[in-house]
Amino acid sequence: MALTTNQRAPIPPAHHDPAPTPICYGHRGARGHAPENTLLAFDLAFDLGADGIECDAQLSADGRLVIIHDGTVNRTTNARGAVRDLRFDALRQLDAGRGQRIPTLDETLALVGARGGLLNLELKAESDAEALAVAAAVAARLAALPADDPLRERIIASSFSLPAVEDIKQRLPWLRIGALYGGRAWTRQAMIERALALGAEAIHPHPRILTPETVSEAHAVGLRVNVWTANRWATIHQLITWEVDGVFSDFPERVIIARRLRESAEEWAATPGE
Ligand code: G3P
Ligand code: MG
């Protein structure tokens, strides 16, 4: 397959030196243990050893950026209604579980900054048009980060809406972006070529559409591979064996344990015998 090498600048190092491989992102925080997309889940993910968190950003009816996954509040709160139809003050009244509130983007940025971690900010919407509105709002917020704020290098924005990913990259050329892929229609070549065309740092495929060949071809053209969402031990072990760069998990501690055991096995194998 004909691919052009990605010409972008080298990927900045993560906050660890050396960076652990793969980087562990708590999916919607530590979703397996706490109400998803809440400050409690984010804090817990870091407590469990995650290097970063993933969360989903949307716009309220009055244009505020809030962190929630679904298009409605029905599943994750004690109320009903579409996020896009509810004003911020109404969203903040809701119980997101264990007394948690739906977080704002600002609160999430503050938490990630305080924990010194990484953030995958997913631009979530029901359509490309809505995703473009989220991209514009997120870009405006991130543009306000001081030029020397370490958070700038720790954020990667992604979306299933690739026009939204393209748009936010054009607005903020310094921002790292990932191309999210879920459907089986995505071929290896299409995933890689689209990501290169977007100027993405990484592809973010689901495990069902990932092969070890995709990982090595992505690496060969300078793309990272961050995979969502791996919760089963066998899947996590397999992804580590394939040398992916990042793993999103509802149970971040599983990635930490599997990663450490892999390192230990490599150290053991490298130890000279008697
Ligand atoms: O960003 C990775 C993953 O979160 C995408 O799927 O539906 O969990 O937001 P979803
Ligand atoms: Mg998500």
Model confidence at 263: pLDDT above 80: yes
Which candidate, 62, 134, 59, places its Cα nearest to that of 102? 59
Short-list 240, 237, 234, 235, CA closest to 225: 240
Quick one: pLDDT at residue 122?
Answer: 98
Q: Which two tokens stand for residue 183?
A: 């459907």
Catalytic residues: 27, 69
Distance 160 CA to ligand 2 centre (A): 9
pLDDT over 60 at 8, yes or no: no
- In tens, the pLDDT along 183-217 reads 999 999 999 999 999 999 999 999 999 999 999 99
Asked if residue 202 has its Cβ within 6 Å of ligand 1, the reply is no
CB atoms within 10 A of CB 17: 6
User: Of all atoms in ligand 1, which is nearest to the CA of residue 248?
Assistant: 2
C-alpha 188/C-alpha 149 separation (Å) is: 35
Q: For residue 124, give the nearest of 195, 201, 70, 179 by alpha carbon.
A: 70
Domains recognised in the chain with CATH numbers:
24-53+123-268 (3.20.20.190)
Q: What is the pLDDT of residue 274?
A: 62
* DSSP 8-state secondary structure symbol assigned to residue 33: T
Going from the Cα of 268 to the center of ligand 1, the distance in angstroms, rounded, reads 36
Kind of pairing between the strands at 65-67 and 155-159: unpaired
- DSSP assignment of 165-212, as one string? HHHHHHH-TTSEEEEEE-STT--HHHHHHHHHHHT-SEEEE-GGG--H
Q: Note the pLDDT of residue 18.
A: 58
Q: Which amino acid is at 110?
A: A
Nearest 5°: phi and psi at 89?
-60, -35
Ion ligand 2: residues, Cβ under 5 Å: 56, 122
Chain segment 88-116, per-residue pLDDT in tens: 999 999 999 999 999 999 999 999 999 99
Question: Residue range 13-28: average pLDDT?
Answer: 75
User: For residue range 40-92, what is the model confidence (pLDDT) as tens digits?
Assistant: 999 999 999 999 999 999 999 999 999 999 999 999 999 999 999 999 999 99
| Residue 20 banded pLDDT, cuts 50, 70, 90 | confident
Tokens 């817990």, residue located: 44
Place of tokens 């969360």: 55
Average pLDDT of every residue of the chain: 93
